[in-house]
Amino acid sequence: MPIVAALLSVAGLAGVAVVAPILTARRVAWATPVVYGASFVLAAVLLICGLLALLGGSAFQGTVHLPVGLPWIGAHFALDPLSAAFLVIVDFGAVVASFYAIGYGAHEEEPGRVLPFYPAFLAGMNLVVLSADAENRRAGYVYLLMASFGTLMLLLGFGLLAGPDGDYAFSAIRTAEHVPWLSGLVLVLMLLGAGSKAGLVPLHVWLPLAHPAAPSHVSALMSGVMTKVAVYGFIRVVFDLAGEPAWWWAVLVLILGAGSAVLGVLHAVLQRDLKRLLAYSTVENIGIVFIGLGLGLAFKTNGMAGAAALAVTASIFHAFNHSLFKSLLFFGAGNVLTGTGERDIEKLGGLVHRMPETAYLFLGGCLAISALPPLNGFVSEWLILQAILLSPDLPQWALRFLVPASGAMLALAAALAAACFVRAFGITFLSRPRSPAAETAHEVSRWQIRAMYALLAVCLIAGIFPGPFLDALSPVSQMLVAGAMPKQPILPHLSIIPISESRSSYSGFLVFFFIMMASWAAIRVIHNFASRAVRRAPPWDCGFPDASPVTQYTANSFAQPIRRVFGPIAFRAKISQTMPQPGDMAPARLTLSLRDLIWEFIYAPIEGAVLYAAERLNILQFLTIRSYLSLVFAALVLLLVLVATWA
């Protein structure tokens, strides 16, 4: 049974996590390939289990109860369509990341800071997806969320769902009756708990700091995969366990999703650190996923099963697509870091000549994340826009206004994402090198390159032939919203149909075919009709016969128009000038300052209050024993008074 094989594989990952510190401490030369190789094999088994459960139907799904965990309770594990879909998302990323890490890990100076935790990280993510009760989920989220605030919100949410009986099994929670206000409170708690891990604005501030700090294959898992575990938790609770949704749930989710999409890409387009840019882009794409989930809630609460199925399917498909192209881009950033030692794109340039395979693979990831056909990012975002076009049938005026506004925000985010990755690719790989590190760059190992080829191939396949992927998600949407998209025709038209053939359709294969034919025709025309005479002459140089790299467009200058439009509102951007004295030939200096308003208005006051309280309470460390005993006695008296009052 796949569920048993999946649990055995998770146990194997835990065993590798136990052995890894021993190998690292002894500095065994083959520790890196052994740990990552074993993780690759076990993640592949988990991926196969997820595919069998998703595509094979109920015959490959099941539930297992193990006598582990809390006494007399044990732990429940299950494979259903939703957990199987996210098992595929998690473990496909884990397989490719482990393969990539076999080559990338050879360059790590301190493998001991990653190897012991990498298989445990994979095991924790899979346990969250496989768990079928909230007690087991608690341990998984404590490991995954890395923040006590998010964990507290999740535990409170599950506590409310379990109720006074304290039965945390999902089967019991589904059958329990929840009053509307309690279900609404659970939604808010899940947005705070799962949203803080996924990177929803305004809970995103930790993500751009943590994700770039990890090695690149771990960054790919954190941004491309781990955030989807939080998305899974949100879907599991809100769509499956919390009961019938109210229409205002969709309003809250849509506002947070649209805000995350736009603010995330605005931050990304201004970054110089390549990995930090990619981390902010994750905030944008998580916002897109939540726009789809908000649409699903809006349609579900109004009995529009077909539209809800379209929105939920598009959202989960975009989560899968993001795991592909974001992992591809983080691998590309890892290659750049390996080949140059630099992440600052202002110090790069010209890498297309020194790292050609990385450059073209990274370009493929940029096209996919910019939602350009025929790659996969276009399909999922197009499907979300198709769901938005169904909003006039919604009865609530608030949703009729908010859903088109979310569509406009989604379109704006897509346009800004294209500008962001034109900037990222152009400044990093094109023009002339801007530093000695870029001039001496070198290509990386074949392990890393092949992992990127695999991801780009799946991005292309999912974009050209999305029908089988959408059909595979039909059991998930049927489970969550009691509806499914129309079965997608594979032949003869190779197109996808979101709602009906008379309304809209898209053929990734035809788009790909016409792009290839147009490219071939253009090349043939140039070769057949261009002059064969060769004439060499210096190009027009605008008065600079030997142009220096300092005269090229920089990353900051490329982003200047966007910064001028949105900077005063979103970042309070300010430029200070330092002018030389008259007669001094030194150039003027311009300094740009950007402010994170969410940090300043939400988190900075909290940080200040905590520091203030810590300083004032520091005196408690220096009391005498009599003072400590007096405080304990006073606390006991206060508790007794409170208990007596409430009783």
pLDDT digits (tens, 9 = 90+) for 361-407: 999 999 999 999 899 999 999 999 999 998 888 888 889 999 999 99
Q: Which of 24 and 608 is assigned the larger pLDDT?
A: 608
Does the pLDDT at position 545 exceed 70?
no
Evaluate whether residue 53 is within a structural domain: yes
Query: Same domain for 195 and 283?
Result: no
Residue 28 confidence (pLDDT): 59
Residue 144 confidence (pLDDT): 42
Name the percent of the chain in helix, strand, coil, to the closest 5: 70, 5, 25
Which residue, of 485, 514, 534, is where some domain finishes? 485
Cα radius of gyration rounded to whole Å, the chain: 27
Q: What average pLDDT does the segment 143-152 reach? A: 55
Does the pLDDT at position 497 exceed 80?
yes
Backbone angles phi and psi of 353, in degrees to 5: -85, -25
Highest mean pLDDT among 53-67, 183-197, 205-219: 183-197
**228-237, 397-406, 479-488, 500-509 — which is least confidently predicted?**
500-509
Query: Band of the pLDDT at 125, cuts 50, 70, 90?
Result: confident
Query: Same domain for 258 and 201?
Result: no
**Owner of token pair 């050879």:** 106
Does the pLDDT at position 152 exceed 80?
no
Query: Same domain for 422 and 356?
Result: yes
CA separation, residue 348 to residues 149, 389, 428, 438, 556 (Å): 39, 43, 5, 5, 14
Residue 67 confidence (pLDDT): 65
Evaluate whether residue 515 is within a structural domain: no
Which residue, of 454, 485, 516, is where some domain finishes? 485
List, in order, residues 6 or more apart from 397 with CB less than 8 Å away: none
List, in order, residues 6 or more apart from 127 with CB less than 8 Å away: 10, 136, 139, 140
Query: Band of the pLDDT at 141, cuts 50, 70, 90?
Result: very low
Query: Same domain for 265 and 200?
Result: no
Query: Band of the pLDDT at 140, cuts 50, 70, 90?
Result: very low
Total of domains in the chain:
2
- Across the chain, mean pLDDT equals 83
Residue 65 β-bridge partners: 76
Does the pLDDT at position 481 exceed 70?
yes
CA 482 – CA 234 distance, rounded (Å):
18
CA separation, residue 209 to residues 240, 333, 479, 617 (Å): 33, 16, 37, 29
Evaluate whether residue 611 is within a structural domain: no
Query: Band of the pLDDT at 137, cuts 50, 70, 90?
Result: very low
Residue 252 confidence (pLDDT): 93
Tokens of 117: 């935790």
Which residue, of 441, 465, 485, is where some domain finishes? 485
Does the pLDDT at position 142 exceed 60?
no
Query: Same domain for 317 and 394?
Result: yes
**276-285, 286-295, 553-562, 577-586 — which is least confidently predicted?**
577-586
**93-97, 222-226, 590-594, 626-630 — which is least confidently predicted?**
590-594
Report yes or no: 60 and 78 within 8 Å, Cβ to Cβ: no
Report yes or no: 115 and 84 within 8 Å, Cβ to Cβ: no
Does the pLDDT at position 271 exceed 50?
yes
Query: Same domain for 171 and 302?
Result: no
Does the pLDDT at position 143 exceed 50?
no
Does the pLDDT at position 146 exceed 50?
no
Q: What average pLDDT does the segment 3-8 reach? A: 80
CA 464 – CA 367 distance, rounded (Å):
14
Residue 151 confidence (pLDDT): 66
Percent of the chain with pLDDT over 70: 89
Query: Band of the pLDDT at 492, cuts 50, 70, 90?
Result: low
Residue 138 confidence (pLDDT): 40
**50-59, 87-96, 590-599 — which is least confidently predicted?**
590-599
Query: Same domain for 166 and 295?
Result: no
Query: Same domain for 358 and 473?
Result: yes
Residue 68 confidence (pLDDT): 60
Query: Same domain for 87 and 170?
Result: yes
Residue 325 confidence (pLDDT): 94
**Structural domain of 369:** 244-485
Note the pLDDT tens digit of each residue in 318-358.
Answer: 999 999 999 999 999 999 998 898 888 988 988 999 999 99
Evaluate whether residue 215 is within a structural domain: no
Tell me how many degrees the CA angle 118-123-128 measures, rounded to the nearest 5.
130
Query: Same domain for 201 and 255?
Result: no
Query: Band of the pLDDT at 167, cuts 50, 70, 90?
Result: low
Strands 574-578 and 75-79: unpaired
Residue 521 confidence (pLDDT): 85
Evaluate whether residue 607 is within a structural domain: no
Query: Same domain for 264 and 312?
Result: yes
Smallest CA-to-CA distance from 489 within 470, 474, 510, 514 is with 470
Smallest CA-to-CA distance from 250 within 299, 312, 288, 217 is with 299
**121-125, 202-206, 221-225 — which is least confidently predicted?**
202-206
Report yes or no: 191 and 252 within 8 Å, Cβ to Cβ: yes
Residue 213 confidence (pLDDT): 72
Report yes or no: 362 and 429 within 8 Å, Cβ to Cβ: yes
Q: What average pLDDT does the segment 507-517 reach? A: 87
Evaluate whether residue 503 is within a structural domain: no
Q: Which of 541 and 10 is assigned the larger pLDDT?
A: 10
pTM for the model: 0.85
Evaluate whether residue 455 is within a structural domain: yes
CA 513 – CA 508 distance, rounded (Å):
8
Residue 164 confidence (pLDDT): 63
Evaluate whether residue 150 is within a structural domain: yes
Query: Same domain for 250 and 312?
Result: yes
Tokens of 639: 């508790």
